[in-house]
Every structure is written in C-alpha cells, then in structure tokens.
Structure 1
Amino acid sequence: MDPNHQFTEAPMPLFAPAPDDVGLVPPLPAGNRDKSSPSYLADHRARLRERFLAGGAAAMPDYELLELLLFRAIPRQDVKPLARRLIQHFGDFNRVISAMPSRLQDVTGVGPAVITEFKIVEAAAQRLARARVMNRPVLSGWQALLDYCHTAMAHAETEQFRTLYLDRKNNLIADEEQARGTVDHVPVYPREIMRRALELNASALILVHNHPSGDPTPSEADITMTHRIAKAADSLSITLHDHLIIGKSREISFRAEGLI
C-alpha cells in the first residue's frame, strides 16, 4: 500500500479573479462620530433588523444578511456597498462567510473586525451542525450528516479530507480532519486513518472530502485510494460505510454509485 497518496479532482482550468485594492475601514475621530452617522443610516439599520426579526432570513437577499453582520463590525458607516462588493467578489453568502481571511482582505473595506465577525458566524454554523450528528446514530440520521458535511466543507476554497469514526452502534464518536491540500488535491495517509481507528476502538468509517470546484464527480485517484482504504479497513475488521465527495450544491456517495 502506498502510504502517501493523494485524492485529486479531475483537471480543470482555474481562473483567479484579480483582487481589488486592499483597504481597511479607518476608525472615526471621536469628535466626528455623531456627524458621520446620519439618521437615514440608523433608520435603514432599524428597518433591516425589524424585517429580519419579523420574517427571518428566507426572504432576505444575501447582501442584506451580510449587512446585518457588517453593522456590528462597522457601526457608523453605510455598509451596503461593501456587502454588494463581497457578493460580487465571492458569489454568495456562504462563500463570503467561509472565504479565507487573506482573500477577504482583497476586498476594499474589509478589515480585521469584518473578518472576525464572519469567522464567528462560520464557526457557529459548523458547531450547530456538528452538534446534530455527534454521538448519535449516523446511518439513521443521514440527512443531518450530509447537512453537516456541506456546512463544514462545501464552500471551502481548498480541498479537505476528514474521517468520521463510528462505534459498534454506528454512533459518531469522532470527526477528524486528516489533511488539507490545494485547490485540486489533498494528501491522504491510510496508515494514519487505521492507526487512529484502532486508538478510538472504532468499528466503522465514513470518508469525506470536498471538491472546491463545486463538481463532486470522483477522479480516478479518488476511486483508487478509496479502494485501498477499504482493503486496509477490511484487514482490521473495520467497515467502510461510505466515501462522500462534497460539491457546492450536491454530494456523491460512493456506496450509492456502486463504487464500494
């Protein structure tokens, strides 16, 4: 068994958009803060908050949800233009929130306070989704597991590989990120997966990795490595339930596709 193999996406062209000028929102002088916050801004913020509380997020476009977050990070300026720039730059709310800090800084007007707000929201979303699956039967709560995987990985800009370890009742006992890679491949070490399974006394595994391109179609390397992990697991009487590839809006199950 090759101990150092890589999951890869099928080759495809990558076009990186040119970054905007980097800019930070400067602090306002204490004597000028009241003047810089006209009443129409306060009214707009109040109306937006009221709409959110009355109807929830479902009827709000992505840029307005971003505005609500930006209100806290930039308390006395009109943040609608920045919210629209972020959506234009990244594509949607999820990709904005999950973008790497270095890429967020490429957008004019984004500084440390904005990045902190976004990363808090991202962490909270992942923790809420994770709480719905940890220490619970995975196979009978499959949709919750898929929701968690999408929340944690679907919008990541680099490829990630994680292993879900299950006990004899198929309760999820550990969710561990094994490796991170580049935009189209990630190193995977089968020996480390098996060693950790033995340490946890796991009886079964589910493999999960994402394709940052958004297309979850498995590559030949994905299939080959999955078979090697399945063989190694079988030799230790550990069941490989599935391998999920997470795309932007859908996932591929190796089990459902007959690949394992």
Structure 2
Amino acid sequence: MREGRPHWWGHRERLRERFLRAGAKGLQDYELLELLLSYAIPRKDVKPQAKELLRRFGSLAGVMDASPEEVQEVKGIGPRAAALLRLAKEMGEVYLGERMRGVDVLSSPSRVVDFCLFRLKGEGEEKFMVIYLNVKNEVMDYEVIQEGTVDRSVVYPRRVAEKALRRRAASVIVVHNHPSGHPDPSPEDKRITRELVEALKPLEIRLLDHIIVGKRGYFSFREKGIL
C-alpha cells in the first residue's frame, strides 16, 4: 500500500483493472456495485454498502429498480450515490432504446424484448408503452402513454390510434407490465388486445404484438400465436 492511502485503495484499483480487462462478467455483483458506488463515494470503503444493497433488494436488478428514496435507506448511501445508481439504469435504457431503433422487429425480436424487460420489469406501478414501426417493421420511436391503473378499454385504443396516426406508423407493438409479477395475460388484457386490433384496422395500422412484462419474464401474444 502506498503511504497515506487507505487499505481499500489498492482493492478499488484492482476492481477497476479487472472490469476494464474482463467487463462485468469478471466481477461479482457486489463488486460491480462497489465499483459504481466508488465514483459517488470516493473517500470511503463502500463494500459494506454494496453488500447491504444486494441483501436488502435481493439482486443487482432489484437494486437498480429501487427508487432513490429506497436505496438511501441503506446507511452510507446518500443523494449522490442514489443519483448515480439511477443514472446507470437510465443510461442502460437509452442505450437499448437506441439499439432498437431502425431494427426489423421480425428478424430481431430479441432486441425489442430485451428493451421491454429492461424498461418495465421491476416497475412498481403499471405502465403502458407503445412502440411505433414503419412499413419495413423497423422501430421509429417509443413512448409510455399511461402510468397507473386506468379504464384501459376506454382510453388505450383511442390514444394508441391517435398517436400512431400522428407518427404515420404502419404498425405498433404495445407493451405493459404486471407489477404483481406474473406476465400471463388476464381476461382484460385479452379483451384490450382485441379492441386495439379493431380500433387500428380502419386506419390500416397493424397491431404487431402485445407484450406483457412481469418479474418472472414476459408474455408475447405474437409468439403464442394469438396475434
């Protein structure tokens, strides 16, 4: 150890070197968190905080899905560290969203699924997202059009149709999450899917898929042959 440096300094440098050499696969989950937290808390050993975050939220995904208020309940995690954790997740979402744009969803469906899982898995409230596609089935844009439980049968078909027309979309994929965890469609989910098909048909806009995201994975109406 160099004179004047704390005992954990060399450990932190070795973590950084291992990450640059092997990527995330070269580190354990608590080490990834430890390395990330070190940029917000540079003058303290943050291994205890990293391990406590994993213990409290169950997994790395659970930590990233937690709100800034929730992570700050862990001793030693302040606003700067909470903001950095949120920033890491938001940048991941932007990255996956940009990689999805221009992709033919029929030839590369996994990119859309990966984005949907990253965007909505672990959300504490229900969100309804629309992905807009051109005539080549390439992603043009996406947006969350509703948050929280509403009367979907009244609001969603009309709003989806209006927004798809505004973007001159040839087809759409709709996505929503089940905060309870299980992605299997409810009778209401099946009904809203039929109503969306009927609402979009006169506009010559196709509902390409309806994806439901849960903590235990996802359900695709297209993959199951329902659409």
TM over 0.5: yes
Structure 1 distance, partners of 2:74, 2:212, is 30
Query: Could you tell me which residue of structure 1 aligns to residue 130 of structure 2?
Result: 163
C-alpha displacement of 1:38: 4.9
What TM-score results when the alignment is normalised by the length of structure 2?
0.90
Kept in 2: contact 1:153–1:210 (CA 8 A): yes
CA distance in 2, matches of 1:177, 1:38: 48
Q: Deviations over 1:118-145 (max 9, x none)?
A: 1211121111111111123222221111
Pairwise CA distance, 1:186: 5.4
Instruction: Provide the residue aligned with 1:40 in structure 2.
Output: 7
Q: Distance in 2 between matches of 1:106 and 1:235?
A: 52
CA distance in 2, matches of 1:62, 1:179: 33
Q: Which has the larger share of helix?
A: 2
Code of the aligned partner of 2:225: G
Q: How many residues align?
A: 222
2:210–2:221 Cα contact (<8 Å) kept: yes
Q: Give the drift of 1:202.
A: 1.1
Which of 214, 217, 222 is matched with 1:250 structurally?
A: 217
Query: Which residue of 1 is the match for residue 83 of structure 2?
Result: 116
Deviation at 1:66, TM superposition (A): 0.4
2:35 alignment counterpart = 68
3-state SS, counterpart of residue 242 of structure 1: strand
**Large movers: runs of 4+ above 6 Å:** none
Query: How far apart are the structure 2 equivalents of 1:152 and 1:121?
Result: 13
CA 1:222 to 1:114, structure 2 compared with 1: closer, same or farther past 3 Å? Answer: same
What's the CA shift for 1:95? 2.0
Q: Please tell me whether the aligned partners of residues 206 and 243 of structure 1 are also in contact (alpha carbons under 8 angstroms).
A: yes
Distance 1:187 1:118 in 2: 34
Is 2:176 aligned against 1:226?
no
Shift of 1:161: 1.0
How well do the aligned residues superpose, as a CA RMSD in angstroms? 1.9
Structure 2 match to 1:104: 71
> 1 CA distance for matches of 2:39 and 2:166?
44
TM-score, normalised to structure 1, is 0.79
- 1:39-93, Cα deviation, whole Å (9 max, x unpaired): 3111111121122222221142211110011101111111111111111111111
2:110 maps to which residue? Answer: 143
Match of 2:180 in 1: 213
Residue ranges of structure 1 left out of the alignment (5+ in a row):
1-36
Q: Runs of 5+ in structure 2 lacking a partner?
A: none
Identity of aligned residues (%): 39
1:176 maps to 2:143: yes
Could you tell which deviates more after superposition, 42-51 or 247-256?
A: 247-256
What amino acid is the match of 1:197? A
Judged with a 3 Å threshold, the aligned counterparts in structure 2 of structure 1 residues 66 and 180 are, in CA distance, closer, same or farther, namely: same
